[in-house]
Amino acid sequence: MAGPHAMTTEGNRVKQHEVQTIPLSGISAELAARFDARTATVAVVGLGYVGLPMTRAMHDAGYGVVGFDIDGAKIEALTSATAYLKHLGQELYDELAASNRFVPTADASRLAEADAVIICVPTPLDSANRPDLRYVESSTQLVADHLRAGQLVVLTSTSYPGTTREVSGAILSAAAKQRGLELGRDVFLAFSPEREDPGRTSHTTRTTPRLVGGLSETDTELARRLFVPAVDTVVPVSTAEVAESAKLLENIYRAVNIALVNELKPALAAMGVDIWEAIDAASTKPFGYQAFYPGPGLGGHCIPIDPFYLSWRAASLGKPTRFIELAGEINRRRPAHVVDTLRDELAARDQPLRGARVLVMGLAYKKNVDDVRETPAAEIIRLLLQAGGWVSYHDPHIARFPLMRKYDFDMESARLTPEQLGAQDAVLIVTDHDAVDYQLLADHAKLILDTRNVMAKFKSGKATIVKA
């Protein structure tokens, strides 16, 4: 990138030591010095899937951390070291509860203690698939209510380009003015997208490169200096809008490529080709190809939602984004397609889906986590029940079906025994958790519909296996 942040790239990696620092003066120089010396206090607003790992990273960096959430249950849990996101490990909760550098609180006035406030609140879609920025607005307003000179605010929540400047910026700017302060001179604002991938063990908050883009060069430089003690590679970009766009690009790239293989799967199957084998074959090319795999539909907080933040913004500017719309359409149809495949397989055995016993394997939206947000398993179960199936589920990480925004099923995880499996008309694998004995399935189920190709790794047994 040219300009004051000039740097070289080596593949996708940016070398941090080659990032040129921007000269700061006055209040911004004092703030940066506190980051450099790690004597700053950092507030993390929103202590969920993103905010809690962020809290750990900031605490590990040596900062004092105020963890703020409007959900009192999370504050109580953090005070008593009760793990509410289990994949992060009990040690984190023990360490934070015992630390004299960590304060969990639901008292917004404590935000005034912070030199930097990092906002990690949800950015869902509303019922018409439009961005719902109410959490960004309300959390920014809380920060604004306690704003003081010498604070840096960093928004991490995924949103469309322009959100930081137009939404958070407007709220903070108004509050600053009321106090005789000015955004960009006395208080600072930047965007730094979150790349957290719950359950992934290959990367941590520290080892995942972090983008920062501010409203001005000064804001960008302050955000960079905030993260340098906590993250190995911090990559400044020229504006907040570039950082916002980069995050959406990453997730749109995934959504579109997943839709592509989801669409190709039945097409190749009709030609007698197993798409997983074709993907493995294509993956031997050492450049120019990245493997994406078909599945039962999208889940989680990011891929099913984020692309529509961009398509909504683009549509409002008269620029259609057809790839996003098409990928959404294909991916959303997957749960129904999986149920149709099951119906066809049963029909081929002269059995209707109505009255059939179906065991759904895995509720979580991806393997080895207990996260059910937007999980396709919920829609698959709804469709199976609607078709008159007798549905049960097994998930080693989710003992009871949690109440969801759109779904409320009174179900408990079934035990996996040879008798239980033998009594099913079909077993439908939605999530390929490692903690499942798939050989037991192969040996005792009659029919297995496998949306993840997990059964390919096990010896064939009594069960007929259909890749769905």
Ligand X SMILES: NC(=O)c1ccc[n+]([C@@H]2O[C@H](COP(=O)([O-])OP(=O)(O)OC[C@H]3O[C@@H](n4cnc5c(N)ncnc54)[C@H](O)[C@@H]3O)[C@@H](O)[C@H]2O)c1
Which residues are catalytically annotated?
302
Our CB check for ligand X shows the closer of 118 and 384 to be: 118
Q: In this complex, which beta carbon is closest to ligand X, that of residue 167 or of residue 426?
A: 167
Report the sign of the C-alpha dihedral through residues 458, 459, 463, 466, in that order: positive
Site size with ligand X, rule: CB under 6 A: 27
Q: Which helix (H) or strand (E) holds 236?
A: strand 234-236
7, 24, 27, 70: residue in contact with ligand X (rule CB under 6 A): 70
Structure letter (DSSP) for residue 22: P
The nearest distance, CB 210 to ligand X, in angstroms, is: 12
Of residues 142 and 243, the one with the C-beta less far from ligand X: 142
What 437-442 contacts at long range (C-beta under 8 Å, 24+ apart), as own/partner pairs, is 440/416, 441/361, 441/416
Joined tokens for residue 340? 């149709």
Q: How far is the CB of 332 from ligand X (least distance, A)?
A: 18
Q: Does 196 bind ligand X (CB under 6 A)?
A: yes
Buried-state track 9-45, b at ≥16 Cβ within 10 A, e below 16: eeeeebebeebeebebeebbeebbebbeeeebbbbbb
* Residue linked to tokens 């839709």: 259
Q: Are 47 and 78 in contact (CB under 8 A)?
A: yes
Q: Does 45 bind ligand X (CB under 6 A)?
A: yes
* Nearest residue (CB) to ligand X, 5 versus 366: 366
| CA–CA dist 103, 393 (Å, integer) | 39
* Residue 154 lies near ligand X (rule: CB under 6 A): no
Q: x/- string (CB under 6 A) for ligand X, residues 49-68? A: xxx----------------x
Residues in the chain: 468
**135 is a contact residue toward ligand X (CB under 6 A):** yes
Query: Quick one: tokens of 339?
Result: 């149920």
Q: Which stretch binds ligand X (CB under 6 A): 94-102, 118-126, 232-240, 416-424?
A: 118-126
Q: Is 194 in the site for ligand X (CB under 6 A)?
A: yes
Give the sign of the dihedral formed by CA 320, CA 321, CA 323, CA 324.
negative
* Shortest distance, position 301 Cβ to ligand X, whole Å: 4
Alpha helices in 296-361 (DSSP H): 306-316, 322-348
141, exposed or middle or buried, with CB in 10 Å at 0-12, 13-18, 19+? Answer: middle
Which 3 state secondary structure label does DSSP give 417?
A: coil
Q: Least distance in Å: CB of 77 to ligand X? A: 11
Using CB under 6 A as the binding rule, whether residue 254 contacts ligand X is answered as: no
When the beta carbons of 247 and 444 are compared against ligand X, the nearer one is: 247
Tokens (6 digits) for 47: 């202590």
From 4-12, 18-26, 120-128, 286-294, span contacting ligand X (CB under 6 A): 120-128
- Residue nearer to ligand X on the CB measure, 254 or 394: 254
The correct pick among 22, 44, 48, 67 for binding ligand X (CB under 6 A) is: 48
Stretch in the footprint of ligand X (CB under 6 A) among 89-97, 114-122, 329-337, 353-361:
114-122
- Is 365 a binding residue for ligand X by CB under 6 A? The answer is no
Q: Which parts of this chain interact with ligand X (CB under 6 A)?
A: 45-51, 68-71, 74, 120-123, 135, 138-139, 142, 157-158, 194, 196, 198, 301-302
